[in-house]
């Protein structure tokens, strides 16, 4: 189990602070305050360059930890993803945001799975160029600098090329075959999530609902295809679970920002999601196996149903939310029990 000491590492505190300040950046980005774009740009610059700070502090204080390696890329993607989504229609085209966020989600999933296997895939020059190009392009869009669209187009190209480069390196490093049809189906589901969020924030609930249904219906398609074609892999199982929870958490974050749900529902959802995700990764890293909690499968299915209920604004949605949380917290305590006892190591999906 993760020791609280690691969570309190100075480097991890910086990373957590970066995550907590992202809503402040979004607030200035959407506000009508004078010089709002300059305040938003300043916060974005500070959060972007603090990425190097937490890494430097970790190495300087010898506080490099697996938790930090997980939190750091997540904080980067959250910042860039938030900026892209809220700048759609204000200098960034929808397809640009979908291309970049989709790439980042897929590569983040690959990186986390590789990390759980004890494998670190070093960042290439293309990866560093991708980060710099994204920061410059987003800043130019925020400040409405002429030529911003073309710089963003260049950032998209560099992002996609670096993603292909990283995926190829991962395929050569990870022992399992990651380029197969089931994983491509899962990747397609993952890429649809940014489009789903964009439709939500544009107020196109009907289109968002259709995309959500499509992602939900294809949830079992990748697993079914993997079994029928004998292409089942551990990577695919983890990748599928990552996609499920990315859709679920982005839904609840969107619901809060769109005033469709109160903050406490989001917070109650985040706690078990983070705990469960960390337990799964560390269990897999230690045991090279997937921890099985059957009730978690039911919780995921019911959570999908609950998201649909909220999108429909069903009268009894709060009853669904209460039942959903009861299932998720039951699964969380079961995960904790199995992790601590290190028993019942059965290969299965999350």
* Residue 328 and residue 197 share a domain: yes
Do 215 and 284 share a domain, yes or no?
yes
- Nearest in space to 321 (alpha carbons), one of 272, 250, 266: 266
- Same domain flag for 222 and 161: no
Distance CA 266, CA 246 (A): 14
Q: By residue range, what is the domain housing residue 290?
A: 178-350
pTM comes to 0.76
Q: How far apart are CA 348 and CA 350, in angstroms?
A: 6
Same-domain check for residues 323 and 230: yes
Are both 46 and 98 inside the same structural domain? yes
CA 70, CA 167: separation in Å to the nearest integer? 18
User: Which of 152, 175, 198 is where one domain is finished?
Assistant: 175
Give yes or no: residues 170 and 182 share one domain.
no
Whether residues 48 and 151 fall in one domain: yes
End-of-domain residue from the set 175, 205, 227: 175
Same domain, 139 and 254: no
Segment (H or E) for 148: helix 148-173
For residue 283, give the CATH number of its domain: 1.20.120.1760
End residue of a domain, out of 133, 150, 175: 175
Region of 289 please: left (phi>0), alpha (psi -120 to 50) or beta.
Answer: beta
- Total domains in the fold of the chain: 2
Instruction: Give yes or no: residues 160 and 274 share one domain.
Output: no
Q: Say yes or no: 186 and 331 in one domain.
A: yes
Q: For 88, phi and psi rounded to 5 degrees?
A: -65, 130
- Give the pLDDT of the chain (350 residues) as one tens digit per residue: 444 445 456 666 777 778 888 888 888 888 888 888 899 999 999 888 876 666 656 666 666 565 666 677 777 888 888 899 889 888 888 889 888 988 888 888 887 777 766 666 666 788 888 989 999 999 999 999 999 999 999 999 999 998 888 888 877 777 667 777 888 888 888 889 999 998 998 888 999 999 999 988 887 777 777 777 777 777 777 888 888 888 998 899 889 888 899 988 988 988 888 788 777 777 776 766 677 778 888 899 999 999 999 998 888 999 999 999 999 999 989 888 887 776 544 444 44
End-to-end CA distance of the chain: 18
């Amino acid at each position: 189990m993760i020791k609280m000491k690691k969570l309190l590492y100075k480097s991890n505190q910086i990373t957590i602070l970066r995550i907590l300040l992202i809503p402040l950046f979004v607030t200035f980005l959407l506000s009508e305050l004078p010089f709002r774009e300059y305040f938003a740009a300043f916060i974005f610059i500070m959060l972007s360059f603090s990425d190097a700070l937490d890494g430097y502090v970790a190495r300087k204080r010898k506080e490099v930890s697996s938790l930090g390696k997980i939190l750091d890329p997540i904080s980067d993607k959250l910042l860039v993803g938030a900026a892209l989504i809220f700048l759609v229609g204000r200098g960034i085209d929808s397809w640009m945001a979908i291309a970049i966020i989709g790439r980042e989600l897929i590569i983040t999933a690959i990186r986390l799975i590789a990390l759980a296997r004890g494998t670190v895939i070093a960042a290439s020059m293309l990866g560093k160029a991708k980060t710099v190009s994204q920061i410059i392009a987003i800043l130019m869009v925020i400040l409405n600098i002429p030529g911003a669209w073309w710089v963003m187009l260049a950032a998209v190209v560099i992002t996609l090329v670096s993603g292909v480069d990283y995926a190829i390196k991962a395929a050569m490093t990870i022992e399992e075959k990651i380029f197969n049809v089931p994983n491509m189906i899962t990747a397609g589901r993952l890429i649809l999530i940014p489009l789903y969020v964009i439709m939500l924030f544009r107020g196109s609930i009907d289109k968002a609902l259709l995309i959500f249904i499509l992602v939900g219906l294809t949830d079992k398609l990748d697993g079914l295809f993997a079994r029928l074609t004998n292409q089942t892999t551990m990577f695919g199982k983890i990748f599928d679970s990552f996609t499920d929870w990315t859709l679920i958490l982005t839904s609840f974050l969107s619901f809060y920002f769109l005033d469709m749900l109160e903050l406490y529902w989001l917070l109650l959802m985040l706690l078990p999601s983070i705990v469960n995700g960390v337990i799964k990764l560390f269990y897999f890293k230690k045991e090279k196996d997937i921890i099985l909690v059957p009730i978690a499968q039911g919780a995921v299915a019911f959570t999908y149903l609950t998201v649909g209920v909220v999108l429909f604004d069903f009268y009894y949605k709060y009853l669904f939310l209460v039942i959903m949380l009861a299932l998720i917290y039951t699964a969380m305590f079961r995960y904790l029990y199995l992790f601590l006892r290190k028993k019942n190591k059965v290969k299965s999906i999350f």
